[in-house]
Structure 1
């Protein structure tokens, strides 16, 4: 039995192999035998000569018979074997005309099926052709044009405006807007400056760039995406495995029914042998499981290709189907619902100093510190002069820092660094902390000069995404974070999740996922793919943020959102559900049409014509139905 997904042209490449463009054969050359077969069929109708119909059968069915007879000798009864038996049988009982029509209709349906599958895989071919095969590289002071596979890590590439980038790397000189649609699915170009990463297959739109190569050609982000998507399209989904199991029993049953139809009426009721052998052959044709076999993989291939084009990497048909049946989604906080970058949310100053002058002095002191929140304050002071002479700078672990400017000692830190804080200011500190913010106090030995509140910035899209998920019918959204309760509650209220758990260690996140699975069945975990690896692995579907350039995310997750773009999550759920819906439609339609056509045997109405239209027509319809998934938009 031909297995679901066993398509002749679905190519999986070894990960290290350089991918070449698929050669395109001219249409006339590819289908010349079919054209000749059609010509002989028309001549057969004009001159009513069986020899012309026989020529049409041999030319149109050459590849079919080649495979069918080989499988027949091996007792491997797939759809080509069934068709071969039916056409040879039609010729034996003198139905040359109908045999020729059946062959040609089968050949035409194969052409249409092949075209449809090529269209479904077009997105992967597009990805394969995105990265240029060569680039200009500077070596030993000379500019050389090298093939991508000959470029080494550490080489400096020269990229002009309007050129595609050939290799992953880091900008060492220049700035530009880069169109990353091929990798991340985002349509708006991204501004890139020195030390920013760039990816092979993306387009440099404006400036001249010098880029230091960081990965070999076979390890670039786009090469990994192509390889993973190819693997995903070849992997069987649960519904494909169901079709395989079904077909294992279905084929022998169809052959037994065909034999009974051909033998019982003539032997038991003395009916016409020719008429009932013809009916038996028609049963073989209508029983061909073409539509059933193709019903699932055409949908899976199309959906995974569409997702890749929109910046979502789905690593297999099983994950695609599971995503469509999710009941609960758990979110990590940092880097998922938030940007993972601290910013100053409040700067409250006291005393007579100008706010900008005070902020500049605080930033000057913080520029000497290694504290993770220092960068947020320095960023806040962007544009201000930090040219202050700082003396006696001291960093006090667990408390903050001190330093002297113009003879005055300044302190920046937490409550432990100050001996006395007025009650009114203390209330303000607690109020800011209850909003989930980290508060730093700036002052001198005698007075408090300012409060600086810092928080991880919530993504603008987070609230809208959670709302859309609820609208799509996701029963539970939960925030799982290692952060403190106050911060977790503030973020949870902001984005609208239904519940939250805070101060969790990685193993406790894993336990939380297991509990959710017991309660809801299918659960997704959305994280950054680094410290969330155990929870991502335990969830029904692990979804990683920031697949582009993040090896951990690509390796640990079942689905990767390539541009850190949370808005792709509802799109993925919608696409998965649509895929499940179309797969069910295709399987049901295929089986129902077969049963209805087989019922025509009872009054003796089933003909080879009806059989081939029922089989090939259904195959074409389920293929076209699967291709509707290309139209699912973000």
Structure 2
């Protein structure tokens, strides 16, 4: 498929009709006009001459071929087109008001010529397209407006016909500016892509385009520069702004052997980075590509609107004909007034405000979330997020930090407990041993080297220190009868959901460590905020044992939990939950992939990892849940705005149509009903871009 950037694409309904015509060309099947991003995608075998002819019939044109669209390309054609339209409308308005004055002074052809000049100045493109459409028997808003204006001028309504032409020009301008505002919000995201890099070869430096970089290349990143692609720091230390990837404004300290993301900014110092991926495979490139694609996916609401628009205009044309002929033929009405009313009804047939009711809000919502570090892969997922009533969370690494720590201890021999445990566990790489060592490091002890040490499978570690035998392990490591006090403490810790580490000699227990996975500081606050955002149920799915799950659930305020689940059992539980409502599953995007895919909506936490980006429908680019409530609120807002927009777009047109019953509908009221709807729909949709400045991170 070939991809082209377009100019002059200001009408959503026109874009839909052009796409249908291109699809009818030989080899044109599957071609798409991406209205939101103003692009054309066509297959290799399409006759581009025919394509350009179809585009030009609606005032659109190809401005640059782009086999692989580059984010640096930010065309100014739409802006210059808007500026030209503003000038023409301004000139037209001056001529129009001058004609009104002249009309009061002279009663001849001069004001008529002035009215026609004013109408032509602001609407000549409409007339050209309208006449072409009439010849092809193609009926869209340009055709309807051309017919209405010809009709108005034919019955001597010079002033009103001209006013309609000017108002329609303003309407088209505002519609184009509204969509362009949404597009620019997306283009601002695309500008974060770096353009050049300083390549180090044979100890010499030279500036190269980032697209020429290959895995293994060494690059120099100076203070204030963008890191060109994903890589590993070879030398240097600095704080790095990763907002382009994660949406987090706070810089992250980086040093040798740590991973960095392309598009992040080196705040100070000089870094040498070994590139691990070509730019096109980097996290940033994937994010930008997915964000750009996301704005073009059609939501169920948009699909319904597009189907409705196909039938709406023909129905309005039929109503217009009935208004023109039915009253005079059946009820002895006057032909002139009812012909005029029918012309006004034609203008009401424009579905532009209805077509605009969804895409600007969707693009604004996706762009807003992307700036917050929330990658939503399509408008359909943005819409679905606002309909979710249950969120299922994985525990480890999602609600908890994913690494154990010592939360509780029972010490029976303070002189030996820490020293023996530390001497045995310090050589182990097991996560639980590391948790024990973190606690022991607080004691500032001098640890001994064991004379002998061995692992006993299923029990723990056996060691000989200073000629004495010791064990660190679970209950199975105990070879003697336990005192009642110790037995009670063990039972109590197990009931509280702790994993036990027992330190003992051959004769007695020296102490107990109660190990747990540390709950993320933000988890409790996040759960309360998602309830406030409209989520009814927050549940946890975990493979951990029941007591641990119960403890975590109570501490952070979940509505329910399901423990001891294997991966396939998590999938079954998600299916069970989806039978009772819309369910989103939140996990780390790796081991939760089956459950993420099964849920109505998969949400992964990834901080830019490939697996997270590829697995889920929505990716939280941070390594915490802090932005999840914000994403839900934005989705709710977008869904509410779309419903309001549809109601307003149809409501204003219905009011206009009802005015035909008492014969009160005029041409300017008809155009204002569409213009008013377009302005309101556009302005309301753009509000998604603003508000809620403070992001949730607690």
TM-score past 0.5 threshold: yes
User: Does the 8 Å CA contact 1:328/1:474 hold for their aligned counterparts?
Assistant: yes
Distance in 1 between the 2:621 and 2:564 partners? 28
Which secondary structure state, in structure 1, belongs to the residue aligned with residue 431 of structure 2? coil
1:537 equivalent to 2:579? Answer no
- Structure 1 gap ranges (5+): none
CA distance, structure 2, for counterparts of residue 407 and residue 6 of structure 1: 77
Matched, 1:554 2:606: no
Q: C-alpha displacement at 1:407, in angstroms?
A: 4.2
Match of 1:10 in 2: 38
2:471 corresponds in structure 1 to: 411
1:134 paired with 2:193, answer: no
1:36 aligned to which of 85, 88, 91: 88
Q: Residue 371 of structure 2 corresponds to which residue in structure 1?
A: 309
Distance across 2 between alignment mates of 1:73 and 1:445: 101
Q: Aligned with 2:500: secondary structure?
A: strand
Q: Tell whether the 8 Å contact from 1:392 to 1:404 is kept in structure 2 after alignment.
A: yes
Of residues 598, 601, 623, the one that matches 1:564 is 623
Distance 1:386 1:15, change over 3 A: farther
Contact 2:424–2:463 under 8 Å retained in 1: no
For residues 460 and 85 of structure 1, the distance between their equivalents in structure 2, rounded to whole angstroms, comes to 65
Is 1:621 matched up with 2:683? no
Matching of residue 438 in structure 1 with residue 495 in structure 2: no
Task: State the Cα distance separating 1:344 from its structure 2 match.
Answer: 2.6
Does structure 1 residue 193 correspond to structure 2 residue 245? Answer: no
Verify the 8 A CA contact 1:465 1:567 in the aligned structure 2.
yes
- Give yes or no for the alignment of 1:463 onto 2:524: yes
Query: What does residue range 82-121 of structure 1 map to in structure 2 within 5 Å?
Result: 82-121=144-183
For residue 213 of structure 1, the aligned residue among 252, 275, 282 is 275
Deviation string 1:317-340 (CA, Å, 9 cap, x unpaired) is: 222222212221111111111111
For residues 24-78 of structure 1, the C-alpha deviation after alignment (integer angstroms, 9 at most, x for no partner) is 2495664325523542452354354433433433342243344444444444433
Shift, 1:574, TM fit: 1.6
Residue 268 of structure 1 and its aligned partner are, at CA, apart by 4.5
Q: 1:72 to 1:354 in 2, by over 3 A?
A: farther
> Following the alignment from structure 2 to structure 1, what is the Cα–Cα distance between the partners of residues 221 and 621?
23
Q: Which of 517, 522, 526 is the equivalent residue of 2:578?
A: 517
State yes or no: 1:57 paired with 2:109: no
Q: Report the Cα distance in structure 1 between the residues aligned to 2:297 and 2:78, rounded to whole angstroms.
A: 30
- 1: CA distance, partners of 2:81 / 2:392: 54
**Aligned 1:352-363 pairs, distance under 5 A:** 352-353=414-415, 357-358=419-420, 360-363=422-425
Structure 2 residue runs without a partner (length 5+): 1-12, 18-32, 42-65, 103-109
TM-aligned CA distance change 1:377 to 1:578, over 3 Å = same
Quick check: 324-333 or 447-456, which moved more? 447-456
- 3-state SS of the aligned residue for 2:579? helix
In the other structure, the counterpart of 1:394 is 454
For residues 6 and 53 of structure 1, do their structure 2 counterparts lie closer, same or farther at Cα, with a shift above 3 Å needed? Answer: farther
Counterpart contact for 1:36–1:56, Cα < 8 Å: no
Contact (CA 8 Å) 1:340, 1:456: kept in 2 or not?
yes
Match of 1:20 among 56, 72, 75: 72
Deviating more after overlay: 487-496 vs 161-170: 161-170
Alignment of structure 1 residues 443-522 onto 2, 5 Å:
443-519=504-580, 521-522=581-582
Q: Aligned partners of 1:523 and 1:33: how far apart in 2?
A: 47
Aligned partner of 2:390 among 319, 322, 328: 328
Query: How far did residue 619 of structure 1 move?
Result: 0.5
CA contact (8 A) 1:130 1:182 kept: yes
In 2, the alpha carbon distance for the partners of 1:11 and 1:342 equals: 50
Q: For CA contacts below 8 A with separation 6 or more, give which structure has more relative contact order.
A: 1
| Deviation per residue, 1:521-559 (Å, 9 max, x gap) | 21111111222222212212211122x322222222121
- How far does residue 577 in structure 1 lie from its aligned partner after superposition? 1.6
Contact preservation (8 Å) 2:130, 2:146: yes
Cα offset, 1:163, TM superposition? 2.3
Q: Which moved more, 1:45-54 or 1:296-305?
A: 45-54
**Residues 171 and 404 (structure 1 numbering): CA distance in 2 closer, same or farther, change over 3 Å?**
farther
Please tell me whether residue 167 in structure 1 is matched to residue 229 in structure 2. yes
Give yes or no for contact 2:82–2:177 (8 Å, CA) kept in 1: no
Question: Are 2:430 and 1:371 equivalent residues in the alignment?
Answer: yes
Q: Work out the CA distance in 2 between the residues paired with 1:346 and 1:194.
A: 36
CA distance in 2, matches of 1:498, 1:587: 35
Structure-2 residue corresponding to 1:585: 644
Q: What is the rounded CA distance, in whole Å, between the counterparts of 1:598 and 1:26 in structure 2? A: 34
Cα shift readout 1:214-242 (whole Å, capped 9, x = no counterpart): 22211222222222122221111121122
Matched residues, number: 629
Post-superposition shift, 1:87?
A: 2.6
Cα distance in 2, alignment partners of residues 97 and 225 from structure 1: 53
8 Å CA contact retained: 2:92, 2:166 = no
C-alpha distance in 1 between matches for 2:139 and 2:370: 36
Structure 2 partner of 1:612: 671
TM-score using structure 2 length: 0.83
Q: 1:31 to 1:88 in 2, by over 3 A?
A: farther
Give the CA deviation at 1:370. 4.1
Residues 105 and 442 from structure 1, CA distance in 2 versus in 1: closer, same or farther, beyond 3 angstroms?
Answer: same
Secondary structure of the corresponding residue to residue 529 of structure 1: coil
Distance 1:321 1:207 in 2: 43
Aligned to 2:194, what secondary structure does the other structure show?
coil
Distance, in Å, in 1 between the alignment partners of 2:80 and 2:572 is 61
Structure 1 Cα separation of the partners of residues 80 and 284 of structure 2 = 34
TM-fit CA distance, 1:480: 0.9
**1:15 and 1:223 mapped to 2: Cα distance?**
16
Which of 226, 229, 236 pairs up with 2:288? 226
Q: Secondary structure at the match of 1:302?
A: helix
Deviation for aligned residue 1:590: 1.3
In the aligned structure 2, how far is the partner of 1:76 from the partner of 1:342?
Answer: 68
User: Normalising by the residue count of structure 1, what TM-score does the alignment of the two structures yield?
Assistant: 0.91
